[in-house]
């Protein structure tokens, strides 16, 4: 009998098949996450789990699962997992980087476009039957080409967005805790600037940082005050990076012009004040949602889990301390 694996929520069938051929799989074929207690119960005899960002693995949870050896998250972000606690309990944690980079950057650019050119707002107007004919300043927004894009977090997705921006002749400024290598800065025509400079110079600010204690509410009232009144904020990272109440306030009093949000502080609940505003484009956490990419993410998580359960260092291991490099 193979290793016992729980698939906590619905994934692409090819990944289920791949797992079932190689392990003893319990499959929760549902889009609903197990409530915390049920998840614990289903995991009590498992050695591995294919998890999603709606599953929480706190210190308490991992401590209660002595047989668990690997948490293979179907996401690049892993803020749903207490990685330090997992490491202490000898549990490998893996994610799905790279495969979703381009797809996620595509959606960040789509949100930027939609917010700048008022795509959702004007469509709502048209569908409601309000359109009486062409007007000179109807739904005028702001230009994307030749504007300045500020990217917060110059990792893989930040770089993919910068590539797209180059095609639109945008000036790209960025800020990150760690400066990008010089060859990347040159190739992507990036200018490294302090955080405050980015906020004050950018026509578009796009967030590509992980959710960690230092990035929680990174964007709040003081930051919106530094931004241009014409600026657009885009978030495809994690909801809590933005203080949503402060953002709704900034949008309502036109401290900034618009926002495009794919992630929210309390998903799937949306801050009611945001729902009332016309100048915000809202999508339900779909940045990596192309069939090809989501399928690849599922396969990647399956491979990570099986690799760890075979005693190997899984390809996308986050807690490297579990398999120290000997060479």
Q: Does 248 bind ligand GLV (CB under 6 A)?
A: no
Say if residue 247 is exposed, middle or buried (CB neighbours under 10 Å; 0-12, 13-18, 19+).
buried
Q: Does 288 bind ligand GLV (CB under 6 A)?
A: yes
What is 118-162 written as a DSSP string?
A: THHHHHHHHHTT---S--TTTT-----TT-EEEEE--SHHHHHHH
Q: Does 257 bind ligand GLV (CB under 6 A)?
A: no
Please identify, among the stretches 57-65, 72-80, 190-198, 269-277, the one whose residues bind ligand GLV according to the rule CB under 6 A: 72-80
Q: Does 304 bind ligand GLV (CB under 6 A)?
A: no
Q: Of the residues 238, 244, 294, 303, which is catalytic?
A: 238
Q: Token pair of 238, please?
A: 């994690």
According to CB under 6 A, which one of 83, 100, 209, 300 is a site residue for ligand GLV?
Answer: 100
Task: Identify which of residues 101 and 307 has a Cβ nearer to ligand GLV in the complex.
Answer: 101
Q: Does 241 bind ligand GLV (CB under 6 A)?
A: no
> Annotated catalytic, 146?
no
Beta strand extents in the chain (DSSP E only): 4-7, 24-27, 48-51, 70-73, 92-94, 148-152, 171-175, 190-192, 204-207, 232-235, 258-261, 280-282
Please identify, among the stretches 19-27, 75-83, 105-113, 140-148, the one whose residues bind ligand GLV according to the rule CB under 6 A: 75-83
CB of 96 vs ligand GLV, minimal distance in Å: 6
Number of H helices, E strands in the chain: 13, 12
Q: Of the residues 185, 187, 249, 267, which is catalytic?
A: 267
According to CB under 6 A, which one of 24, 33, 77, 245 is a site residue for ligand GLV?
Answer: 77
The CA-CA-CA angle for residues 290, 296, 298, to 5°, reads 105
CA dist 129 → 70, 121, 123, 173, 277 (Å):
54, 13, 10, 41, 19
Please identify, among the stretches 69-77, 113-121, 123-131, 201-209, the one whose residues bind ligand GLV according to the rule CB under 6 A: 69-77
Q: Give the binding-site size for ligand GLV (rule: CB under 6 A).
A: 6
CB of 211 vs ligand GLV, minimal distance in Å: 10
> Annotated catalytic, 267?
yes
What's phi and psi for 6, nearest 5 deg? Answer: -100, 130
Please identify, among the stretches 74-82, 131-139, 163-171, 250-258, the one whose residues bind ligand GLV according to the rule CB under 6 A: 74-82
Q: Does 99 bind ligand GLV (CB under 6 A)?
A: no
Nearest CA-CA partner of 100 in 260, 236, 212: 236
Inter-residue contact 79 to 56 (CB < 8 Å): no
Task: Identify which of residues 53 and 149 has a Cβ nearer to ligand GLV in the complex.
Answer: 53
Q: Does 76 bind ligand GLV (CB under 6 A)?
A: yes
> At a CB cut-off of 8 Å and minimum separation 6, what does 177 contact?
none
Q: Report how far Cα 108 is from the mean position of its chain's Cα atoms.
A: 10
3-state secondary structure (DSSP) of residue 224: helix
Task: Identify which of residues 148 and 206 has a Cβ nearer to ligand GLV in the complex.
Answer: 206
> At a CB cut-off of 8 Å and minimum separation 6, what does 21 contact?
none
Q: Report how far Cα 325 is from the mean position of its chain's Cα atoms.
A: 29
Mask 29-68, x = binds ligand GLV (CB under 6 A)? ------------------------x---------------
> Annotated catalytic, 285?
yes
Interface residue list for ligand GLV (CB under 6 A):
53, 75-77, 100, 288
Query: Catalytic residue numbers?
Result: 238, 267, 285
């Amino acid at each position: 009998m193979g290793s016992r694996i729980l698939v906590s929520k619905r994934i692409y069938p090819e990944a289920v098949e791949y797992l079932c051929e190689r392990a003893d799989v319990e499959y929760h074929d549902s889009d609903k996450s197990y409530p915390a207690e049920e998840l614990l119960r289903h995991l009590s005899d498992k050695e591995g789990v294919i998890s999603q960002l709606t599953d929480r693995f706190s210190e308490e949870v991992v401590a209660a699962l002595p047989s668990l050896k690997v948490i293979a998250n179907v996401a690049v972000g892993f803020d749903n997992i207490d990685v330090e606690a997992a490491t202490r309990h000898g549990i490998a944690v893996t994610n799905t980087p790279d495969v979703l980079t381009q797809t996620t950057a595509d959606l960040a650019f789509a949100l930027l476009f939609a917010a700048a050119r008022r795509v959702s707002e004007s469509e709502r107007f048209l569908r409601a039957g309000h359109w009486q004919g062409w007007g000179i300043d109807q739904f005028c927004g702001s230009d994307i080409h030749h504007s300045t894009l500020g990217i917060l977090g110059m990792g893989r997705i930040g770089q993919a967005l910068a590539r797209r921006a180059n095609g639109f002749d945008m000036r790209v400024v960025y800020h990150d805790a760690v400066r990008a290598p010089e060859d990347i800065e040159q190739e992507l025509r990036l200018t490294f600037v302090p955080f405050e400079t980015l906020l004050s110079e950018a026509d578009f600010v796009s967030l590509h940082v992980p959710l960690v204690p230092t990035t929680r509410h990174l964007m709040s009232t003081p930051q919106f005050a530094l931004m241009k009144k014409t600026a657009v904020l885009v978030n495809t990272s994690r909801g809590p990076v933005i203080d949503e109440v402060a953002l709704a306030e900034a949008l309502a009093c036109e401290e900034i012009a618009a926002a495009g949000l794919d992630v929210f502080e309390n998903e799937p609940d949306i801050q009611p004040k945001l729902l009332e505003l016309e100048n915000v484009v809202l999508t339900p956490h779909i940045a990596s949602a192309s069939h090809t990419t989501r399928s690849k993410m599922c396969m990647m998580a399956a491979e990570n889990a099986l690799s760890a359960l075979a005693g190997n260092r899984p390809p996308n291991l986050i807690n490297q301390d579990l398999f120290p490099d000997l060479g």
